Structure 1
């Protein structure tokens, strides 16, 4: 028992030491006082989409959410565009260095604009939970994949430390690329929600996945470059933390790409070859 008490006090003291490193400008901002609300919401999300939601919908008809999806995806396009433009204007439009960018902890208007964008980007990760909620409500359980749930469920946990400790600087490059990709992604979903007659305008689904993978490569390169340039006055732990997440998501998206686009083509080619072989044998 004493061993457990000692361990508790040890980790509590370690937590207090880390907490002292927080960006105090964020004190009092919603969801910033502790990581516990974020952890609770992420665990609740996983429970809802994997357990409660499917059980609730099991004996019910799929919900018709066309109107909601049109509005939701359009709002996500607007929100992603707003954050992307905000990050550009707050630093990434020319003032920031792509090689090494420390966090500006001052109360300069541009620095305050950056922390607003970082906090808003963090909060936007919770709004994206509705992607999965809609899949469950429409009983499209095949789309509630491991990739989808891990991607959405872990993102708020991944972004919270950045918003709380380093809102801006090198780490915000992740949000810049991610919101850029989301502009196109949610526009794709918006057009798809308009109805089957608009399907001809969204032929670029495969390219959308490719863009997402390129995004993660860019984040990896940008994050891990501090291995070579260790003179940057930015916490290298955060840079490596972001780079590691990019590797994980790149692997997951690569697996999805192979299963969704390469395997079907391989199966079609094999089927066509088999039919041609049978046809040739029949003629002979």
Structure 2
């Protein structure tokens, strides 16, 4: 089974986390072990006060994702290497391939940085936030990201998902940064519901764009990448919808029980 990794890289860039699968496996495995053992470790310990750390972390995430968003939009509009109806991967000998590769690589690396979200949750003992949705979302991105880069390549259809995702993350981490200010936390609680709606909307757009691409008879964009993106958007939309229903709709419909 592991013989598949003996095949030549589609894009032999040699970038860290994009060559051998073992660094990805090591990071993901360490993440899972920390989630499982970290809660036990913290069980009899006082939660860490990480407000200052989180302010810096959230600010870095805002700047990182905002920079990526501006770069991707500028690249798609200014360089005109892509047609949105058929996002073919730019060939390796294309003069803009280096920029194309580094944009996607920066997005891929950020999916590993996102794992710190869960680390901070464990250290702050906010274990209710570690849901199946949270874990699936955080694990899916670096794992599938590696396989896409390894066997399909950088760029192409992935850029549509990336530009939507970094935009959502700018909004999401802006909320986290603002919420870290104790004076504004309660005033901004209403943001959470609309951020969830925005997350659901991105998956609807990704799904729609995938279907639109598949309907183009002469499009030779990577079919495996399109099918993977389409499937991912369906699964994630379903999970976020389930979360939204249980977090925001069902609580409103529950009638208070009268005490005798």
Name the TM-score, length of structure 2 as normaliser: 0.91
Q: Residues 1-284 of structure 1: matches in 2 within 5 Å?
A: 12=3, 14-16=4-6, 19-20=7-8, 22-24=10-12, 26=13, 28-49=14-35, 51-92=36-77, 95=80, 96-164=82-150, 165-267=152-254, 270-271=255-256
**2: CA distance between counterparts of 1:20 and 1:232?**
25
Bigger relative contact order (CA 8 A; separation at least 6): 2
List per-residue Cα deviations over 1:167-201 (Å, max 9, x = no partner): 11222211111001000000000000111434314
Other structure's SS at 1:169 match: coil
Q: CA deviation at 1:58?
A: 0.7
Higher share in helix: 1
Q: CA deviation at 1:103?
A: 1.2
**2: CA distance between counterparts of 1:139 and 1:249?**
26
Which runs of 4 or more aligned residues in structure 1 lie more than 4 Å from their structure 2 counterparts after TM superposition? Answer: none
Which residue of 2 is the match for residue 3 of structure 1? none
**2: CA distance between counterparts of 1:212 and 1:60?**
34
**2: CA distance between counterparts of 1:261 and 1:78?**
30
User: Which stretch has the larger CA shift, 162-171 or 234-243?
Assistant: 162-171
Q: CA deviation at 1:233?
A: 2.1
Q: CA deviation at 1:109?
A: 4.9
Residues 48 and 92 of structure 1, relative CA distance in 2, 3 Å threshold: farther
Question: Does the 8 Å CA contact 1:90/1:111 hold for their aligned counterparts?
Answer: no
Q: CA deviation at 1:78?
A: 0.4
Residues 203 and 115 of structure 1, relative CA distance in 2, 3 Å threshold: same
Q: CA deviation at 1:32?
A: 1.5
Q: CA deviation at 1:230?
A: 4.2
Question: Does the 8 Å CA contact 1:77/1:182 hold for their aligned counterparts?
Answer: yes
**1: CA distance between counterparts of 2:51 and 2:95?**
41
Residues 107 and 85 of structure 1, relative CA distance in 2, 3 Å threshold: farther
CA-based RMSD of the aligned residues comes to 2.0
Name the TM-score, length of structure 1 as normaliser: 0.84
Residues 254 and 88 of structure 1, relative CA distance in 2, 3 Å threshold: same
Question: Does the 8 Å CA contact 1:219/1:242 hold for their aligned counterparts?
Answer: yes
Number of aligned residue pairs: give it: 257
Q: CA deviation at 1:226?
A: 3.3
**2: CA distance between counterparts of 1:265 and 1:94?**
48
